[in-house]
Amino acid sequence: MIFTLHVLVGALIGKTFSSLVLVIIIAILSHYILDFIPHRSPRAVKGFKERGLRGANKRDLILKTVEPIIGIIVIVYLIFGLNKEFAGLMLIGSFFAFFPDFLSYYAWKYDMKRFKRFLPVHGGMLYNNSKSLIVGILTQVIVGIIVLVLFFL
Ligand SMILES: [Zn+2]
């Protein structure tokens, strides 16, 4: 799923649980659970896989940077603006909720085929790409609403 949803869920986990180990484990698991729900996420930036950052399509790059930046602004506000007392665990939760995507990036970059099987990568068995664009967006909207409701309960 999109970056914002992963980090939001991670922050919620950090706010909910008080054990560091538990937060890390549940945050990592949350990434797998979210990516197993049928969804549509934006593809890698055009040209990036072949030619790296310099060869990437600039328009596509800027467009696909907008969502993570909005996500970071929202999460910084949620953590430091509204939940300062839980800030440490919420940051850790957010980081580990996104962590599998860092691993996926390195597995792709260094072509670690065996390792890839255990990661929620596009086309992998742990990743559910929705065939329908509308369903793929709707599932993420629903997850987003649920997470925000749980945050403000
Ligand atoms: Zn993912």
Distance (Å) from CA 105 to ligand 1 centroid: 10
State pTM to two decimals: 0.88
Which runs of consecutive H residues, i.e. helices, occur in 37-82? 48-55, 58-76
At 67-106, the pLDDT tens digits run: 899 999 999 999 999 999 999 999 999 999 999 999 988 8
Residues with CB under 5 A from ligand 1 (ion): 35, 101, 120
Number of domains comprising the chain: 1
Distance (Å) from CA 35 to ligand 1 centroid: 6
Using 50, 70 and 90 to split pLDDT, how confident is the model at 16?
A: very high
Spatial separation of the C-alpha atoms in residues 66 and 73, rounded to whole Å = 11
Q: Which residue range is the domain that position 28 belongs to?
A: 3-152
Q: Left (φ > 0), alpha (ψ -120 to 50) or beta: where does 45 sit?
A: beta
